[in-house]
Structure 1
Protein backbone atom coordinates (compact mmCIF):
# COMPACT_ATOMS: atom_id res chain seq x y z
CA UNK A 1 0.00 0.00 0.00
CA UNK A 2 1.24 3.48 -0.86
CA UNK A 3 1.99 5.64 2.17
CA UNK A 4 0.56 9.14 2.14
CA UNK A 5 2.52 12.35 2.61
CA UNK A 6 2.17 15.14 5.17
CA UNK A 7 2.66 18.66 3.83
CA UNK A 8 3.32 21.52 6.22
CA UNK A 9 2.11 24.41 4.10
CA UNK A 10 3.05 27.97 5.03
CA UNK A 11 0.23 30.44 4.37
CA UNK A 12 2.33 33.57 4.76
CA UNK A 13 1.51 36.65 6.84
CA UNK A 14 -2.20 36.83 6.01
CA UNK A 15 -2.86 38.22 2.56
CA UNK A 16 -3.82 35.24 0.33
CA UNK A 17 -2.14 36.98 -2.63
CA UNK A 18 1.18 36.38 -0.87
CA UNK A 19 0.90 32.57 -0.91
CA UNK A 20 3.42 30.71 -3.01
CA UNK A 21 2.15 28.98 -6.14
CA UNK A 22 2.93 25.61 -4.56
CA UNK A 23 1.05 26.42 -1.35
CA UNK A 24 -1.96 27.56 -3.33
CA UNK A 25 -1.93 24.38 -5.44
CA UNK A 26 -1.63 22.05 -2.45
CA UNK A 27 -4.40 23.71 -0.44
CA UNK A 28 -6.82 23.85 -3.37
CA UNK A 29 -6.22 20.19 -4.18
CA UNK A 30 -6.26 18.80 -0.63
CA UNK A 31 -8.47 15.87 0.39
CA UNK A 32 -7.49 16.18 4.05
CA UNK A 33 -6.80 19.48 5.81
CA UNK A 34 -5.37 19.70 9.35
CA UNK A 35 -4.90 22.88 11.37
CA UNK A 36 -4.28 24.06 14.91
CA UNK A 37 -6.77 26.14 16.82
CA UNK A 38 -7.78 27.17 20.29
CA UNK A 39 -10.89 25.40 21.56
CA UNK A 40 -14.00 27.30 20.54
CA UNK A 41 -12.17 29.28 17.85
CA UNK A 42 -12.08 28.69 14.08
CA UNK A 43 -8.28 28.88 14.00
CA UNK A 44 -6.30 31.60 12.25
CA UNK A 45 -4.70 29.28 9.69
CA UNK A 46 -8.11 27.83 8.81
CA UNK A 47 -9.53 31.34 8.46
CA UNK A 48 -6.69 32.43 6.18
CA UNK A 49 -7.30 29.45 3.87
CA UNK A 50 -11.08 29.69 3.90
CA UNK A 51 -11.53 30.74 0.26
CA UNK A 52 -9.07 28.15 -1.03
CA UNK A 53 -10.38 24.92 0.51
CA UNK A 54 -12.20 22.38 -1.67
CA UNK A 55 -15.81 21.82 -0.66
CA UNK A 56 -15.21 18.09 -0.23
CA UNK A 57 -12.05 18.36 1.87
CA UNK A 58 -12.17 16.56 5.22
CA UNK A 59 -11.05 18.83 8.05
CA UNK A 60 -9.03 17.72 11.06
CA UNK A 61 -8.85 20.47 13.70
CA UNK A 62 -6.15 20.05 16.34
CA UNK A 63 -7.24 21.93 19.47
CA UNK A 64 -4.58 23.08 21.91
CA UNK A 65 -5.18 21.68 25.41
CA UNK A 66 -3.64 24.85 26.91
CA UNK A 67 -2.51 28.23 25.65
CA UNK A 68 -1.92 30.66 28.51
CA UNK A 69 -3.65 28.75 31.32
CA UNK A 70 -0.35 27.27 32.56
CA UNK A 71 2.81 29.40 32.90
CA UNK A 72 5.57 28.55 30.42
CA UNK A 73 7.93 27.98 33.35
CA UNK A 74 5.69 25.23 34.79
CA UNK A 75 6.96 21.73 33.80
CA UNK A 76 3.32 20.73 33.32
CA UNK A 77 3.13 23.05 30.30
CA UNK A 78 5.63 21.03 28.28
CA UNK A 79 4.19 17.73 29.49
CA UNK A 80 0.66 18.61 28.38
CA UNK A 81 1.77 19.97 25.01
CA UNK A 82 4.10 17.02 24.37
CA UNK A 83 1.21 14.60 24.86
CA UNK A 84 -0.95 16.77 22.59
CA UNK A 85 1.57 16.81 19.75
CA UNK A 86 2.10 13.07 20.10
CA UNK A 87 -1.64 12.49 19.77
CA UNK A 88 -1.83 14.80 16.74
CA UNK A 89 0.99 12.84 15.16
CA UNK A 90 -0.92 9.57 15.66
CA UNK A 91 -3.96 11.06 13.93
CA UNK A 92 -1.91 12.14 10.92
CA UNK A 93 -0.10 8.81 10.72
CA UNK A 94 -3.40 6.97 10.67
CA UNK A 95 -4.30 8.92 7.54
CA UNK A 96 -0.94 8.45 5.82
CA UNK A 97 -0.93 4.74 6.67
CA UNK A 98 -4.21 4.55 4.78
CA UNK A 99 -2.52 6.13 1.76
CA UNK A 100 -3.97 9.61 2.26
CA UNK A 101 -2.05 12.87 1.87
CA UNK A 102 -2.62 15.53 4.52
CA UNK A 103 -2.08 19.28 4.19
CA UNK A 104 -1.34 20.96 7.52
CA UNK A 105 -2.15 24.67 7.36
CA UNK A 106 0.52 26.84 8.98
CA UNK A 107 0.45 30.57 9.71
CA UNK A 108 3.53 32.35 8.39
CA UNK A 109 6.44 29.99 7.70
CA UNK A 110 6.19 26.45 9.17
CA UNK A 111 9.79 26.44 10.38
CA UNK A 112 9.67 29.84 12.06
CA UNK A 113 8.28 29.45 15.61
CA UNK A 114 5.35 27.42 14.26
CA UNK A 115 3.48 24.54 15.92
CA UNK A 116 4.02 22.34 12.87
CA UNK A 117 7.68 21.94 13.84
CA UNK A 118 6.60 19.71 16.73
CA UNK A 119 4.75 17.43 14.34
CA UNK A 120 7.59 17.46 11.82
CA UNK A 121 10.17 16.17 14.30
CA UNK A 122 7.81 13.34 15.28
CA UNK A 123 6.93 12.38 11.69
CA UNK A 124 9.98 12.97 9.50
CA UNK A 125 11.78 9.67 10.15
CA UNK A 126 8.75 7.47 9.48
CA UNK A 127 6.40 9.37 7.17
CA UNK A 128 7.12 11.35 3.98
CA UNK A 129 6.92 14.91 5.28
CA UNK A 130 7.46 18.03 3.18
CA UNK A 131 7.54 21.67 4.19
CA UNK A 132 6.39 24.51 1.97
CA UNK A 133 8.11 27.73 3.13
CA UNK A 134 6.36 31.09 3.17
CA UNK A 135 6.76 34.80 3.82
CA UNK A 136 6.98 35.33 7.57
CA UNK A 137 4.63 37.51 9.55
CA UNK A 138 7.52 39.74 10.60
CA UNK A 139 8.40 40.39 6.95
CA UNK A 140 4.84 41.53 6.35
CA UNK A 141 5.06 43.72 9.46
CA UNK A 142 8.23 45.61 8.64
CA UNK A 143 7.14 46.05 5.03
CA UNK A 144 3.93 47.65 6.33
CA UNK A 145 6.00 50.39 8.01
CA UNK A 146 7.32 51.53 4.63
CA UNK A 147 10.97 51.35 5.69
CA UNK A 148 13.73 48.71 5.35
CA UNK A 149 14.37 46.75 8.53
CA UNK A 150 18.14 46.35 8.00
CA UNK A 151 20.92 48.32 6.32
CA UNK A 152 24.50 47.33 5.56
CA UNK A 153 25.88 45.18 8.36
CA UNK A 154 22.92 45.55 10.73
CA UNK A 155 22.28 42.52 12.94
CA UNK A 156 18.61 41.59 13.17
CA UNK A 157 17.44 40.25 16.53
CA UNK A 158 14.11 38.42 16.95
CA UNK A 159 12.74 38.20 20.49
CA UNK A 160 9.67 36.59 22.04
CA UNK A 161 7.61 38.73 24.38
CA UNK A 162 7.39 35.70 26.68
CA UNK A 163 11.05 36.14 27.69
CA UNK A 164 11.83 37.64 31.09
CA UNK A 165 12.26 41.40 31.27
CA UNK A 166 16.01 41.38 31.93
CA UNK A 167 16.65 39.15 28.90
CA UNK A 168 14.48 41.36 26.73
CA UNK A 169 16.21 44.53 27.88
CA UNK A 170 19.71 43.15 27.37
CA UNK A 171 19.04 41.86 23.86
CA UNK A 172 17.12 44.96 22.82
CA UNK A 173 20.05 47.09 23.87
CA UNK A 174 22.48 44.98 21.84
CA UNK A 175 20.36 44.81 18.67
CA UNK A 176 20.76 46.95 15.57
CA UNK A 177 17.35 46.01 14.17
CA UNK A 178 14.70 44.39 16.31
CA UNK A 179 11.54 42.31 15.99
CA UNK A 180 9.41 41.37 19.00
CA UNK A 181 6.78 38.65 18.58
CA UNK A 182 4.25 36.92 20.87
CA UNK A 183 3.30 40.18 22.50
CA UNK A 184 -0.34 39.93 23.65
CA UNK A 185 -0.55 40.16 27.43
CA UNK A 186 3.24 40.69 27.59
CA UNK A 187 2.92 44.19 26.14
CA UNK A 188 3.57 46.08 29.39
CA UNK A 189 6.74 44.07 30.04
CA UNK A 190 7.89 44.64 26.46
CA UNK A 191 7.27 48.38 26.79
CA UNK A 192 9.33 48.57 29.98
CA UNK A 193 12.18 46.62 28.38
CA UNK A 194 12.20 48.90 25.33
CA UNK A 195 12.34 51.95 27.58
CA UNK A 196 15.15 50.47 29.66
CA UNK A 197 17.08 49.69 26.45
CA UNK A 198 16.43 53.23 25.13
CA UNK A 199 14.60 51.84 22.05
CA UNK A 200 11.02 52.76 22.90
CA UNK A 201 10.70 55.94 20.85
CA UNK A 202 11.91 54.13 17.71
CA UNK A 203 9.51 51.17 18.05
CA UNK A 204 6.59 50.52 15.71
CA UNK A 205 3.52 48.40 16.48
CA UNK A 206 1.95 46.51 13.58
CA UNK A 207 -1.30 44.62 14.07
CA UNK A 208 -2.67 42.08 11.57
CA UNK A 209 0.11 42.75 9.04
CA UNK A 210 -1.05 42.40 5.38
CA UNK A 211 -4.63 41.63 6.46
CA UNK A 212 -7.63 43.89 5.73
CA UNK A 213 -7.67 45.17 9.33
CA UNK A 214 -3.94 45.99 9.40
CA UNK A 215 -2.86 48.93 11.60
CA UNK A 216 0.59 50.55 11.74
CA UNK A 217 1.60 53.12 14.36
CA UNK A 218 4.47 54.16 16.59
CA UNK A 219 4.31 52.14 19.78
CA UNK A 220 4.33 55.35 21.83
CA UNK A 221 1.04 56.31 20.17
CA UNK A 222 -0.57 53.07 21.39
CA UNK A 223 0.14 53.61 25.08
CA UNK A 224 -2.35 51.70 27.22
CA UNK A 225 -3.73 49.79 24.26
CA UNK A 226 -4.39 46.06 24.56
CA UNK A 227 -2.71 44.37 21.61
CA UNK A 228 -4.23 41.40 19.76
CA UNK A 229 -2.41 38.10 19.27
CA UNK A 230 -1.33 39.07 15.76
CA UNK A 231 0.87 42.00 16.79
CA UNK A 232 4.53 42.55 16.05
CA UNK A 233 6.87 45.31 17.21
CA UNK A 234 9.77 46.37 15.00
CA UNK A 235 12.68 48.75 15.47
CA UNK A 236 14.51 49.55 12.25
CA UNK A 237 18.26 49.31 11.90
CA UNK A 238 20.23 52.39 10.92
CA UNK A 239 23.38 50.78 9.53
CA UNK A 240 25.80 51.52 6.74
CA UNK A 241 24.39 52.95 3.51
CA UNK A 242 26.17 53.81 0.24
Structure 2
Protein backbone atom coordinates (compact mmCIF):
# COMPACT_ATOMS: atom_id res chain seq x y z
CA UNK A 1 0.00 0.00 0.00
CA UNK A 2 1.28 3.45 -0.95
CA UNK A 3 2.13 5.66 2.02
CA UNK A 4 0.21 8.93 2.00
CA UNK A 5 2.29 12.01 1.34
CA UNK A 6 2.21 15.22 3.38
CA UNK A 7 1.03 18.68 2.36
CA UNK A 8 3.47 21.24 3.76
CA UNK A 9 2.29 24.83 4.20
CA UNK A 10 5.66 26.57 4.18
CA UNK A 11 5.98 30.14 5.42
CA UNK A 12 8.58 32.05 3.42
CA UNK A 13 8.76 35.15 5.60
CA UNK A 14 8.22 38.79 4.60
CA UNK A 15 10.00 38.68 1.24
CA UNK A 16 13.77 38.54 1.66
CA UNK A 17 14.87 34.91 1.05
CA UNK A 18 17.58 35.36 3.70
CA UNK A 19 14.82 35.62 6.32
CA UNK A 20 13.45 32.19 5.47
CA UNK A 21 13.78 29.48 8.12
CA UNK A 22 16.21 26.57 7.81
CA UNK A 23 13.25 24.17 7.87
CA UNK A 24 11.55 26.00 5.02
CA UNK A 25 14.74 25.92 2.96
CA UNK A 26 15.21 22.22 3.61
CA UNK A 27 11.70 21.41 2.40
CA UNK A 28 12.13 23.57 -0.69
CA UNK A 29 15.47 21.94 -1.56
CA UNK A 30 13.90 18.48 -1.62
CA UNK A 31 10.52 19.35 -3.10
CA UNK A 32 8.99 17.27 -5.88
CA UNK A 33 5.75 19.27 -6.08
CA UNK A 34 5.48 22.99 -5.33
CA UNK A 35 2.14 24.84 -5.29
CA UNK A 36 1.65 28.58 -4.97
CA UNK A 37 -1.06 31.20 -5.27
CA UNK A 38 -0.92 33.96 -7.83
CA UNK A 39 -3.06 36.44 -9.67
CA UNK A 40 -3.76 35.43 -13.27
CA UNK A 41 -1.01 36.66 -15.56
CA UNK A 42 1.45 37.22 -12.70
CA UNK A 43 4.38 35.13 -11.54
CA UNK A 44 3.23 35.22 -7.93
CA UNK A 45 5.07 36.85 -5.03
CA UNK A 46 5.67 33.59 -3.17
CA UNK A 47 7.13 32.03 -6.30
CA UNK A 48 9.42 35.01 -6.80
CA UNK A 49 10.78 34.68 -3.26
CA UNK A 50 12.05 31.15 -3.97
CA UNK A 51 13.51 31.92 -7.40
CA UNK A 52 16.69 29.88 -7.80
CA UNK A 53 16.01 27.78 -4.69
CA UNK A 54 13.90 24.98 -6.17
CA UNK A 55 15.46 21.71 -7.35
CA UNK A 56 15.71 20.87 -11.03
CA UNK A 57 12.67 18.99 -12.30
CA UNK A 58 10.27 20.24 -9.61
CA UNK A 59 6.64 20.11 -10.70
CA UNK A 60 4.95 23.47 -10.22
CA UNK A 61 1.25 23.98 -9.61
CA UNK A 62 0.24 27.66 -9.88
CA UNK A 63 -3.11 28.28 -8.18
CA UNK A 64 -4.57 31.30 -9.95
CA UNK A 65 -7.25 33.28 -8.14
CA UNK A 66 -10.42 33.49 -10.24
CA UNK A 67 -11.22 36.86 -8.67
CA UNK A 68 -9.33 39.43 -6.60
CA UNK A 69 -10.74 42.97 -6.66
CA UNK A 70 -13.09 42.59 -9.61
CA UNK A 71 -16.05 41.82 -7.32
CA UNK A 72 -16.64 43.57 -3.97
CA UNK A 73 -16.32 41.47 -0.81
CA UNK A 74 -19.98 42.18 -0.04
CA UNK A 75 -21.13 40.46 -3.25
CA UNK A 76 -22.29 36.87 -2.46
CA UNK A 77 -20.61 35.71 -5.65
CA UNK A 78 -17.20 36.57 -4.18
CA UNK A 79 -17.33 33.83 -1.54
CA UNK A 80 -19.04 31.39 -3.90
CA UNK A 81 -16.35 31.75 -6.57
CA UNK A 82 -13.44 31.60 -4.12
CA UNK A 83 -14.94 28.68 -2.22
CA UNK A 84 -15.15 26.63 -5.40
CA UNK A 85 -11.62 27.67 -6.33
CA UNK A 86 -10.20 26.54 -2.98
CA UNK A 87 -12.13 23.28 -3.24
CA UNK A 88 -10.74 22.57 -6.72
CA UNK A 89 -7.08 23.26 -5.91
CA UNK A 90 -7.37 21.39 -2.61
CA UNK A 91 -8.66 18.28 -4.33
CA UNK A 92 -5.65 18.36 -6.66
CA UNK A 93 -3.28 18.57 -3.70
CA UNK A 94 -5.09 15.76 -1.91
CA UNK A 95 -4.79 13.52 -4.98
CA UNK A 96 -1.04 14.10 -5.08
CA UNK A 97 -0.69 13.28 -1.37
CA UNK A 98 -2.86 10.17 -1.67
CA UNK A 99 -0.61 9.01 -4.50
CA UNK A 100 2.28 9.12 -2.04
CA UNK A 101 3.86 12.46 -2.93
CA UNK A 102 4.70 15.33 -0.60
CA UNK A 103 3.58 18.79 -1.73
CA UNK A 104 5.11 22.09 -0.64
CA UNK A 105 2.63 24.97 -0.68
CA UNK A 106 4.47 28.31 -0.72
CA UNK A 107 3.09 30.90 1.69
CA UNK A 108 4.07 34.56 1.92
CA UNK A 109 4.72 35.59 5.52
CA UNK A 110 3.32 33.09 8.03
CA UNK A 111 0.80 30.48 6.78
CA UNK A 112 -1.57 31.05 9.72
CA UNK A 113 -1.57 34.85 9.55
CA UNK A 114 -4.10 36.12 6.99
CA UNK A 115 -2.74 33.63 4.47
CA UNK A 116 -4.64 31.85 1.70
CA UNK A 117 -3.14 28.54 2.84
CA UNK A 118 -5.55 28.52 5.78
CA UNK A 119 -8.39 27.74 3.36
CA UNK A 120 -6.49 24.72 2.10
CA UNK A 121 -5.52 23.65 5.62
CA UNK A 122 -9.12 23.50 6.80
CA UNK A 123 -10.03 21.32 3.83
CA UNK A 124 -7.12 18.84 4.08
CA UNK A 125 -6.31 18.46 7.77
CA UNK A 126 -8.75 15.59 8.30
CA UNK A 127 -8.03 13.91 4.97
CA UNK A 128 -4.24 13.71 4.55
CA UNK A 129 -1.22 14.60 6.73
CA UNK A 130 -0.49 18.33 6.81
CA UNK A 131 2.48 20.19 8.25
CA UNK A 132 2.73 23.94 8.79
CA UNK A 133 6.08 25.74 8.89
CA UNK A 134 5.78 29.12 10.66
CA UNK A 135 7.67 32.18 9.53
CA UNK A 136 8.46 35.84 10.17
CA UNK A 137 5.36 37.88 9.35
CA UNK A 138 5.23 40.73 6.88
CA UNK A 139 4.27 43.13 9.66
CA UNK A 140 7.41 42.20 11.60
CA UNK A 141 9.48 43.04 8.56
CA UNK A 142 7.58 46.33 8.22
CA UNK A 143 8.03 47.65 11.75
CA UNK A 144 11.66 46.58 11.74
CA UNK A 145 12.13 48.61 8.56
CA UNK A 146 10.96 51.75 10.38
CA UNK A 147 13.95 51.49 12.72
CA UNK A 148 11.86 51.78 15.88
CA UNK A 149 10.28 49.28 18.32
CA UNK A 150 6.58 48.65 17.73
CA UNK A 151 5.73 48.09 21.42
CA UNK A 152 7.16 49.27 24.75
CA UNK A 153 6.34 47.99 28.24
CA UNK A 154 2.60 47.42 28.52
CA UNK A 155 1.64 48.68 25.06
CA UNK A 156 -1.29 46.91 23.43
CA UNK A 157 -0.71 46.06 19.76
CA UNK A 158 -3.74 45.92 17.47
CA UNK A 159 -3.67 44.40 13.99
CA UNK A 160 -6.41 45.57 11.63
CA UNK A 161 -7.34 44.91 8.01
CA UNK A 162 -8.24 47.82 5.79
CA UNK A 163 -11.29 45.90 4.60
CA UNK A 164 -13.14 46.73 7.85
CA UNK A 165 -15.78 49.49 7.90
CA UNK A 166 -14.38 52.96 8.59
CA UNK A 167 -16.24 53.35 11.90
CA UNK A 168 -14.82 50.04 13.11
CA UNK A 169 -11.31 51.04 12.10
CA UNK A 170 -11.63 54.37 13.88
CA UNK A 171 -12.90 52.72 17.06
CA UNK A 172 -10.02 50.24 17.29
CA UNK A 173 -7.37 52.79 16.31
CA UNK A 174 -8.53 55.23 18.97
CA UNK A 175 -8.29 52.59 21.72
CA UNK A 176 -4.93 50.97 20.98
CA UNK A 177 -1.35 51.93 21.84
CA UNK A 178 0.42 50.56 18.77
CA UNK A 179 -1.05 49.61 15.45
CA UNK A 180 -0.57 47.62 12.27
CA UNK A 181 -2.97 47.97 9.34
CA UNK A 182 -2.80 45.37 6.57
CA UNK A 183 -4.74 44.74 3.35
CA UNK A 184 -4.69 48.40 2.44
CA UNK A 185 -4.83 48.51 -1.37
CA UNK A 186 -8.13 50.02 -2.53
CA UNK A 187 -9.02 50.76 1.12
CA UNK A 188 -6.28 53.37 1.41
CA UNK A 189 -8.47 56.49 1.61
CA UNK A 190 -10.77 54.82 4.14
CA UNK A 191 -7.82 53.90 6.36
CA UNK A 192 -6.46 57.46 6.12
CA UNK A 193 -9.84 58.86 7.16
CA UNK A 194 -10.01 56.48 10.14
CA UNK A 195 -6.49 57.42 11.29
CA UNK A 196 -7.36 61.09 11.10
CA UNK A 197 -10.63 60.58 13.00
CA UNK A 198 -8.72 58.73 15.73
CA UNK A 199 -6.03 61.45 15.80
CA UNK A 200 -3.24 58.99 14.90
CA UNK A 201 -2.53 60.07 11.34
CA UNK A 202 0.56 62.12 12.17
CA UNK A 203 2.06 59.15 14.04
CA UNK A 204 1.66 56.68 11.19
CA UNK A 205 4.26 55.25 8.82
CA UNK A 206 3.69 53.29 5.63
CA UNK A 207 6.10 50.56 4.57
CA UNK A 208 5.89 49.23 1.04
CA UNK A 209 7.50 45.94 0.00
CA UNK A 210 9.08 45.38 3.43
CA UNK A 211 12.46 43.55 3.27
CA UNK A 212 12.25 43.39 -0.55
CA UNK A 213 14.47 45.25 -3.04
CA UNK A 214 11.72 47.85 -3.69
CA UNK A 215 11.21 48.61 0.04
CA UNK A 216 10.21 52.17 0.95
CA UNK A 217 9.55 53.60 4.41
CA UNK A 218 7.62 56.88 4.56
CA UNK A 219 5.79 59.01 7.10
CA UNK A 220 2.20 58.55 6.00
CA UNK A 221 1.55 62.30 6.10
CA UNK A 222 4.41 62.80 3.64
CA UNK A 223 3.38 60.13 1.14
CA UNK A 224 2.78 61.47 -2.37
CA UNK A 225 2.11 58.26 -4.35
CA UNK A 226 -1.30 57.98 -5.97
CA UNK A 227 -1.34 54.18 -5.89
CA UNK A 228 -0.76 52.02 -2.83
CA UNK A 229 0.81 48.63 -3.71
CA UNK A 230 -0.67 45.41 -2.37
CA UNK A 231 2.45 44.89 -0.25
CA UNK A 232 1.91 47.91 1.98
CA UNK A 233 1.58 48.00 5.75
CA UNK A 234 0.79 50.98 7.97
CA UNK A 235 2.50 51.12 11.36
CA UNK A 236 1.91 53.30 14.43
CA UNK A 237 4.50 52.79 17.18
CA UNK A 238 3.62 52.45 20.83
CA UNK A 239 5.10 54.85 23.36
CA UNK A 240 4.62 52.84 26.56
CA UNK A 241 6.49 52.28 29.80
CA UNK A 242 10.27 52.27 29.63
CA UNK A 243 12.90 51.69 32.36
User: Where on the TM-score scale, by shorter chain, does this alignment land: which range?
Assistant: over 0.9
Compute the RMSD of aligned alpha carbons. Answer: 0.8
Q: Distance in 2 between matches of 1:167 and 1:193?
A: 9
Q: Which residue of 2 aligns with 1:68?
A: 69
Aligned structure 1 segments of 4 or more residues deviating by more than 3 angstroms: none
TM-score (norm 1): 0.98
Give the number of equivalent residue pairs.
Answer: 242
Q: Show the counterpart of 2:37.
A: 36
Distance 2:225 2:21 in 1: 37
| C-alpha distance in structure 1 between counterparts of 2:198 and 2:122, whole Å | 36
Once the two structures are overlaid, the 10-residue window that deviates more, 51-60 or 223-232, is 223-232
Q: Which runs of 5+ in 1 are unaligned?
A: none
The superposition leaves residues 177-214 of structure 1 with CA deviations (integer Å, 9 ceiling, x where unpaired) of 00000111111111111001000000000000001111
Equivalent residues in 2 for 1:64-143, closer than 5 Å: 64-143=65-144
For residues 38-86 of structure 1, the C-alpha deviation after alignment (integer angstroms, 9 at most, x for no partner) is 1111111001111211121000010101001111111211111111111
Q: Can you give the 5+ residue segments of structure 2 that lack an aligned partner in the other structure?
A: none
What is the distance in 2 between the residues matched to 1:197 and 1:51? 45
Structure 1: how far apart are the matches of 2:79 and 2:214?
Answer: 33
The answer for the alignment partner of 1:46 in structure 2 is 47
Please report how far the alpha carbon of residue 225 of structure 1 lies from its aligned counterpart in structure 2 after TM superposition. Answer: 3.0
CA distance, structure 1, for counterparts of residue 156 and residue 69 of structure 2: 31
Please give the secondary structure, in 2, of the residue aligned with 1:138.
helix
Q: Matched residue of 2:127: which SS?
A: coil
